[in-house]
Each structure stands twice: as C-alpha cells, then as structure tokens.
Structure 1
Amino acid sequence: MALVDIQVPDIGDFDEVGVIELLVKPGDIIKVEQSLITVESDKASMEIPSSHAGQVKELRVQVGDKVKEGSVLLTLEVAGAAGAAEPATPTAAAAAPVAAPASAPASPPTAAAPAGATPPAIPAQQPGPAMAGLPHASPSVRKFARELGVPIAQVKGTGPKGRITLDDVQAFTRQVMSGAMQTQAQAARAPAAGSAAGLDLLPWPKIDFAKFGPVERKELGRIKKISGANLHRNWVLIPHVTNHDDADITELEAFRVQFNKENDKSGIKVTMLAFMIRATVAALRKFPEFNASIDGEQLVLKNYFHIGFAADTPNGLMVPVIRDADQKGIVQISQEMAELAKKARDGKLAPAEMSGAGFSISSLGGIGGRYFTPIINAPEVAIMGVCKSRLEPQWDGKQFVPRLMLPLSLSWDHRVIDGAAAARFNLYFASLLADMRRIMM
C-alpha cells in the first residue's frame, strides 16, 4: 500500500476558491473520478474529483477553507508498492463544473420610472447581526445579493443544511422594501400628478397543489438553479428585441452531406452549426457592435472571435466556447464542438471552456420548432437562435421550387443595437449560409 496526496487540479482563471462542501470522510473507499469536495468562485461551483482509487486516511481541508491549484485535499491509501507519498497530478479538465453560467446571475424585476419622474427614496439597510459561520450559498446567489446590496451574512437560509437561496435573498429584500414603502405611503397618501409609483409586486402565490390531485416534488439541479438565475437577470435587465428571418441552405446542406460521405472514415462529422459559427465570424467583422459588451457608460468592442454554442446535457443547458473561431476551419470547429459537447454531457467542462464568448448560438435544429426568442447571454449583446430546417416552396421568378429553409431568430440588446442594424445583420448572415463563398470576399 502507498499514500498519495490528492491535490486541486487546474481550475481555470481562479486564484483561490472556497470549500463549501465535503463529500467524503476518513475511512471512505472511493473510486477514480469520484467527487471529493465542492468549491465555488464568483462564477461557478465545481466538484473536485479524485485521480486515484483507495481509502481516505486524512482530510486536509474543511468547509470555509480557501484552496487553489496544488492545494492538498486529502491523503489517500492506494494499492501498490509501499513508499513515500506522491502527489497526484490531475489534468486541467479534472475539475467537474457543477455550474458555470456564461452569463451573470439574475437580479429581480425592476420597474422603469416614467420620464421626468423622481424615483422614491429607499432608506439604506441598517446593519444587523451577522449569522455565525460561513454563509452557505451558491455563486449565483452571492452575486445576486451583491447586486442588490444585500449583506449575505444577515440572510437566513431556508435551503438544505441552511443553504441561502434566491428566495431567501428576495425575501430579505422585500422585508427592507416593505418598511420603505410604508414610510413612503405615510408621507404621500395621494401622489402628485406625474409622479412614479413605487414597485409593489404581489407576493408569489402559495398553493397547496396536492389538494387538486397527486403531485411529486423534485429538487432542481444545481445547474438549472444557477442558469435560471442568469436567465432571470438577463431577461429582466436587457431590453430584448428579436428579429426572425430564413436562410436558404439548400446548396450548403447538399455540400455538407456530400463532404461527410466522402470523409466518413475520418471520424469527424461536419455539422451545420460549424458553418454557422464561421458565418457568425464574418458577420461580426462586418457588424462589430454585435461583438461588444456594455461596461458602465462605455461600449467594449472585441477584436477576438470567441463563439459560444448551447449544449443540451442531462443536467441542464451549458454553453461551451469555440475560441478564436476566425483562425479555424470548418473541420476543426466541428471536431472541437464534438469534444466540448461530450465534456458538457459528462460534466467535465472546465470553467475556462465556458467563458469569454462574444456571441452565442442556440440551436434547436435537432429537435424542431419554427422560431423562438433566445435570451441574450450577458455580458454579450446578441444571440442567434436557429430551429429545424424544412423544405418550402420559394418563387424563383418563374415558378415555385422546393428549397431548404433554416429559421433564424436574432435577439439583440436595444441599448447597443438598433432595428436597422439587426435587420442587416440577419440578412447578411442568411446570405452567407446561402453562399459560403461570400466569406472569402
């Protein structure tokens, strides 16, 4: 038997992450790739797996500790020749992300005040006694609280093991707002003409569904909890507009099918999404405001082309990123997409593989549908949604002919992009798919 120190592998761009959960204890028999602890940063929660199988002899960390790449998590007794402890060297992808959203967590709905109205003054939250110990909350909940100015240490968690949930933060906020609203109501029973009414949402309905029939309760997965918060924030705070159009992909699809037949022994299947990624790069070059982000009162225009694509996994939606797509061909993009999608399904995507996108594509082509409104992946300012292509009659000037048409749904941030630019982007994107030779021009 030999003793092996299990270390934290490469966890991406994070200097330190906090330990929020211990998944094993001394004496446990563990397998290779079995999760040992859960750590979190401000972007993701990750489960750190073991690179060896054996019996846990000693835990070297506890909840609340900060760890980084190379930190020793535990000592493991493994089968093999006796000798001094040797450090494990897991790969960069060994840390399995539980959730790493491409966009930031959600903020609650806010009502825009009419022009010229003075927003109601909300009294600052008075500090209260902090709860003992480390607040137990996911990265999305922590960021949600930061954006609202909520002191997370003063929020009482109602989730499993006292975990603080989004509902807990919202309840804390409602409690503070309730006092503010009462003060305002007493000060001004009859608002002056043209003044803005304070936000006064009805509480979420509490219903005993069981009284209507049999029900089953099921915990949301961690990825869905975090991505749900992201989608909430993005939908509420970004003024979405969606343009719908169609691209004629008749010749492109015929070429794709023929190419795959001629290269079936290579093991690489070229997908339509790979062509769309290349078309996206060309469109972003022509319309650079679509490859941008808002930073305060400035617009950050990006000179790199990292394209995210939505990957459906058993645990929820994840968005891997093809980096430097402008420097890669269709075959290489298809290969990288297949590898990243497999990692996503297996829960092996590293945080760095889900960050940095300037534009995203959400494809439902393998499922169906006609059009939809994809939600922008903040801090991006646009996202392309595509549905299943279908044969449709198209007029060629003399007669109707069958053409394979791909539905496009472009959602864009109206703070950055206007309708004319969005229409031109969609038309240009469709023209590239109709004739990929345009990319060479």
Structure 2
Amino acid sequence: MAEIVVMPKAGNSVESCIILEWTKQEGDSVQAGDILCEAETDKTTVSVESTASGTLLKQLYKIEDDVPVMLPLAVVGEPGEDISELLAGLGGTSEEGAVEESNAPAAVSAPVVEMTQSVQAVQTDSGTPSGFASPRARNLAAAKAVALDKITGTGPDGRIIERDVLAALDGMAALTPSAMEELIRTGKTAPSRGTGLGGRVLKSDLLDSSIEAPLQPAVSTVLNLDFPGEVEEIKVKGVRKITASRMLESLTQTAQLTMNTSADATRILALRKRLKESPESMGLQSITINDLVMLVTARTLKEFPEMNAHWLGDSIRVFKSIHLGCAVDTPRGLMVPVVRFADSLSLKEMGVETKRIFAKCMDGQAGPEDLTGGTFTLTNLGAMGIESFTPVLNKPEVGILGVCNIQPKPVMKGEDVVFIPHMGLSLTFDHQATDGAPAGRFLKALVANLVNIDLVLAL
C-alpha cells in the first residue's frame, strides 16, 4: 500500500523548506532511511529521509518549490501501484498526478487528515503557538496593519504563515508610522496611493477618503532607448527572505539604541603578532583578532548580567552562562552560529570552536543546534574598513556588539599629539530591557579589558 512521506519539521521556527535537489527519482527503489532530497531551511541544508520502503512513485514538488513542513512531499509504494485516488485526495488529478501549484492541497484524504491533526496536537501539547496564523505571520501583519481575516492561508490546514502576509503586502503603498497606527486603531483599508512623498499614505489620507493621484508631468520627448534598460528580478527566498523578515521584526518590536566608542588596540595587535609568531606546536598561530575580541566580550559580560539576557516582553530572562553568537557572511547569506559556554573557554579553545562552527556555516552543514541558544551577539565588519555602524539586535537578545576597523586616532600625550591605533566599537541594546547608563558601563568595561587584554587572559 502506498505511503506518504511528509516534509519534516527541521526546528521549531521552520515553516517551510525549499527543495534543492532530488536524490531519488520516480521509479527508483528506496528503503526507509534513504535520502529522498536535499532541502534548504532558513538556517541550513537538511537531508530528507524516506519514512517508507518501496518504489518512489511520485515527487509531489519540483526543485526550488517552497514546501510547508508536515505536508506530503512524496509517495512511496509498490511498483506500478495505482495512486490516482491518493493523488486526487491531495489536491491534484489522476491525469496530472501532482499537487497543484498552490503548494497547499485543497482536499486531503483521511490518512493525511489524521496525520495533520496529530501533528497539531503534538505542537499544542509542546507549547508551540497554535491558531489560524503563525506567530511570525501575526507579528508581520500587526506591524504592517494587514487584516488577517482578508488573507488566505497556504500553511498546514489552511493556516496563515509569513509568506501569505508578504504576498498580501506586495503592491501596497508605503505607510507612515502615524498612518499605520490609525489603520490598526480603526481597521480602515489603506488607499492604493497616498498624498505623501512617492505616494506614501499619510494619516490625513485615511481621514479623507477622496484621494486623487497626483498629475503626471507631460512628456515632450521620447528617447529612442528602452527604459529602464536590462533588469534582473531575483526571487526572495531561503535565508535572504528569513533574514529580511527578522530584521524588520527586530526593528519594529524593540527600542534599539546604539553607542559608539573605540579602544586602544596597541596591546591586542602586539598580542596577535606574538601569537602568529608562536611555535606551531602550541596551536595558537591561527588565533584571530575576532577570537580575541570574542573572548574578552564573553568574560566582560560575566560582570554585566543585564546585558546577557533575553527581553520577553513581560519578563527578562537573565543567563548565568555566556552563549556568544557571531555573525558570519556565508554563500547562502547571513548566519549567526553560537559558541556555547564561551565564558568558560580558553583562548585556544575559543579559536578552535569558532573555526569549527564557521566552517560548518560556510559548507551549509550547520544544524539548528549550532545556530540557536545565543544570549549576546558579536558582528565584525572591521575587515571591510567600516569605522562605525548600527548593528541590528538578534531578537530577543538584549545586546549586540559591532566590531569596526582599527585605525590611527590622535590622542593627547601631555602637550603633544600622538597617533595610536584604536578599534571602533558599536553597541546596540534594547532600551526596553536596560538603560543607557548600564549599557554604557558595560561598554566602558569592555574597552578597559581590551586595552588590558594581557591581564584579562591571566585571570
């Protein structure tokens, strides 16, 4: 009897996976545990195993399709078995033999209904938010003043997920903050174009429904050129799509403030030089400036527990151990692997661990266990010559440290001015969770520890 293989749930926050490659083709023999396909989540690449043995009778999705988790992915059964009724129950027809392009079966057979209900029961029992819309979909809809009751869900059992809200936002006019608040308060529908700059919808536009589009200037001359020229449209998906959503969510749901300062880098540069020239047997030659800053940051955070915390809205979760995330630029996009118990590591151990998890990210092999659990994040743009920037919080963390480049800075020495290398530092923190003075004290202590890094390593 034919069995349905579903797209597994690879992590609590994963709503869908994009198929990168089918490793088994229709007609191939498969055993339970064999890899059917490779798929991409918002964090990493996963291998999807078959849960049944037999012959792969049908691939229900194509390469690059975005497949919601816990929905049918493939059909495995006996060679030549008639699966037309099963496919019809999944939303396709016996002639097509495939799930419709909507990626959401219109009608589901009894076994699939039971499977979906059991999955929902497990999610509810485990404390995962349930309902007609996912948490990320609700947050995005609230931030953009989109009425959820006007959106058709494409998630499991018709649930509204993030991509449904993004689809509804496509083509909407930009809203000013006051207009967005007015929409949320009154439930009105925004016009397709407002009277603000570039067609932005103002609050006054919502109070006066008679909005006329501004007159277009007359064109007196038509150039003999194709306008706007060659254009490439890139579909937003995978890591880029998730990163975009999380950055917007972070900026709209937290009170972010950034402080900038710099630290005398004389001793840290001298130490890095000595490490690079150390005997190979010591295993310290590959220690980087980033490793040194991460170590000092982890040890400084021990003195400032309010910065090593998560802001949960109605409570603040303070961690005793330091689990330090570090942003990494990978071929697939931004990833933030986590060095767990970073405060307990030696310099050598820190160097080994960062290289291990960075390599997994670059190879696309980082799993959820490598990318979750951070309590504070560090992002380093110094190698790109950045002198100062505004890091975006890795929500729900309270703080994120931006590391900038090292450059000479004029400093008064008595009546003389000397140029001393300084490392730029940019600290963003959530003003909901802590205030400027505590955050400033942490940054001041971090600067002192970087200046005296040799003493910190002696502890």
Report TM bin, short chain: 0.5 to 0.7
Aligned-pair CA distance for 1:244 = 0.4
Counterpart in the other structure of 1:417 = 434
295, 310, 313: which one aligns with 2:327: 310
Q: Does 1:146 align with 2:144?
A: no
What CA distance in whole angstroms lies between the structure 2 residues aligned with 1:198 and 1:225?
A: 33
56, 59, 64: which one aligns with 1:58: 56
CA separation of 1:309/1:212 partners in 2, compared to 1, >3 Å: closer, same or farther?
Answer: same
Aligned-pair CA distance for 1:340 = 1.2
What CA distance in whole angstroms lies between the structure 2 residues aligned with 1:425 and 1:434?
A: 14
Post-superposition Cα deviations, 1:260-289, rounded to whole Å, max 9, x if no partner, equal 211446385101111212221222122111
Counterpart in the other structure of 2:444 = 427
- Counterpart contact for 1:312–1:318, Cα < 8 Å: yes
Higher relative contact order (CA 8 A, sep 6+): 1
Counterpart in the other structure of 1:138 = none
The TM-score, its normalising length taken from structure 1, stands at 0.64
- Counterpart contact for 1:278–1:326, Cα < 8 Å: yes
| 3-state SS, counterpart of residue 302 of structure 2 | helix
Aligned-pair CA distance for 1:291 = 0.8
CA separation of 1:35/1:394 partners in 2, compared to 1, >3 Å: closer, same or farther?
Answer: farther
Counterpart in the other structure of 1:351 = 368
Aligned-pair CA distance for 1:412 = 0.8
Counterpart in the other structure of 2:252 = 236
What CA distance in whole angstroms lies between the structure 2 residues aligned with 1:346 and 1:418?
A: 39
Counterpart in the other structure of 2:276 = 260
The count of aligned residue pairs is: 343
Post-superposition Cα deviations, 1:293-319, rounded to whole Å, max 9, x if no partner, equal 122321111112100001011121110
CA separation of 1:182/1:356 partners in 2, compared to 1, >3 Å: closer, same or farther?
Answer: closer
Amino acid at match of 1:132: A
Aligned-pair CA distance for 1:18 = 7.1
Post-superposition Cα deviations, 1:183-210, rounded to whole Å, max 9, x if no partner, equal 999xxxxxxxxxxx699699xxxxxxx7
CA separation of 1:303/1:165 partners in 2, compared to 1, >3 Å: closer, same or farther?
Answer: same
What CA distance in whole angstroms lies between the structure 1 residues aligned with 2:185 and 2:451?
A: 59
Counterpart in the other structure of 2:234 = 218
- Counterpart contact for 1:38–1:48, Cα < 8 Å: yes
What CA distance in whole angstroms lies between the structure 2 residues aligned with 1:131 and 1:12?
A: 21
Counterpart in the other structure of 2:120 = none
Amino acid at match of 1:371: S
Counterpart in the other structure of 1:337 = 354
| 3-state SS, counterpart of residue 383 of structure 2 | coil
What CA distance in whole angstroms lies between the structure 1 residues aligned with 2:76 and 2:356?
A: 31
Counterpart in the other structure of 1:205 = none
The TM-score, its normalising length taken from structure 2, stands at 0.62
Listed as ranges, the matches of 1:103-114 within 5 Å are none
- Counterpart contact for 1:306–1:324, Cα < 8 Å: yes
Aligned-pair CA distance for 1:39 = 7.4
Listed as ranges, the matches of 1:272-291 within 5 Å are 272-291=289-308
Aligned-pair CA distance for 1:399 = 2.9
What CA distance in whole angstroms lies between the structure 2 residues aligned with 1:172 and 1:438?
A: 54
What CA distance in whole angstroms lies between the structure 2 residues aligned with 1:50 and 1:21?
A: 10
Amino acid at match of 2:422: M
Counterpart in the other structure of 2:169 = 170
What CA distance in whole angstroms lies between the structure 2 residues aligned with 1:35 and 1:433?
A: 50
| 3-state SS, counterpart of residue 405 of structure 2 | coil
Counterpart in the other structure of 1:26 = 26
Post-superposition Cα deviations, 1:206-232, rounded to whole Å, max 9, x if no partner, equal xxxx73333222223511111011001
What CA distance in whole angstroms lies between the structure 2 residues aligned with 1:439 and 1:380?
A: 26
What CA distance in whole angstroms lies between the structure 2 residues aligned with 1:178 and 1:438?
A: 51
- Identity percentage of aligned residues: 25
Amino acid at match of 2:39: T
What CA distance in whole angstroms lies between the structure 1 residues aligned with 2:105 and 2:228?
A: 39
Amino acid at match of 1:238: T
Counterpart in the other structure of 2:106 = 132
Which deviates the most, 249-258 or 13-22?
Answer: 13-22
Aligned-pair CA distance for 1:393 = 3.0
Counterpart in the other structure of 2:313 = 296
| 3-state SS, counterpart of residue 262 of structure 1 | coil
Alpha-carbon RMSD across the aligned residues, in angstroms, is 4.7
- Counterpart contact for 2:43–2:335, Cα < 8 Å: no
- Counterpart contact for 1:17–1:39, Cα < 8 Å: no
What CA distance in whole angstroms lies between the structure 1 residues aligned with 2:279 and 2:251?
A: 42
Post-superposition Cα deviations, 1:145-167, rounded to whole Å, max 9, x if no partner, equal 1334837982479xxxx994552
Counterpart in the other structure of 1:250 = 266
- Counterpart contact for 2:302–2:343, Cα < 8 Å: no
What CA distance in whole angstroms lies between the structure 1 residues aligned with 2:299 and 2:279?
A: 26
CA separation of 1:429/1:367 partners in 2, compared to 1, >3 Å: closer, same or farther?
Answer: same
Post-superposition Cα deviations, 1:39-91, rounded to whole Å, max 9, x if no partner, equal 76xxx46543389xxxx953699677749xxxx9989xxxxxxxxxxxxxxxx
Task: Name stretches of at least 5 consecutive residues in structure 2 with no aligned partner.
Answer: 61-66, 78-103, 109-115, 117-132, 143-147, 156-160, 174-182, 192-202, 212-225
Task: Name stretches of at least 5 consecutive residues in structure 1 with no aligned partner.
Answer: 1-6, 76-129, 136-140, 186-196, 203-209
What CA distance in whole angstroms lies between the structure 2 residues aligned with 1:64 and 1:409?
A: 38
Listed as ranges, the matches of 1:62-211 within 5 Å are 66=70, 132=106, 142-147=134-139, 148=141, 150=148, 154-155=152-153, 164-170=163-169, 181-182=187-188, 211=227
| 3-state SS, counterpart of residue 211 of structure 1 | coil
CA separation of 1:289/1:250 partners in 2, compared to 1, >3 Å: closer, same or farther?
Answer: same
Counterpart in the other structure of 1:79 = none
- Counterpart contact for 1:155–1:168, Cα < 8 Å: no
What CA distance in whole angstroms lies between the structure 2 residues aligned with 1:331 and 1:398?
A: 41
Post-superposition Cα deviations, 1:309-358, rounded to whole Å, max 9, x if no partner, equal 01011121110100000111111111111121111111111111010111
Q: Does 1:366 align with 2:380?
A: no
CA separation of 1:74/1:385 partners in 2, compared to 1, >3 Å: closer, same or farther?
Answer: farther
What CA distance in whole angstroms lies between the structure 1 residues aligned with 2:285 and 2:206?
A: 55
What CA distance in whole angstroms lies between the structure 2 residues aligned with 1:234 and 1:199?
A: 28
Amino acid at match of 1:145: A
What CA distance in whole angstroms lies between the structure 2 residues aligned with 1:400 and 1:153?
A: 64
- Which has the larger Rg? 2
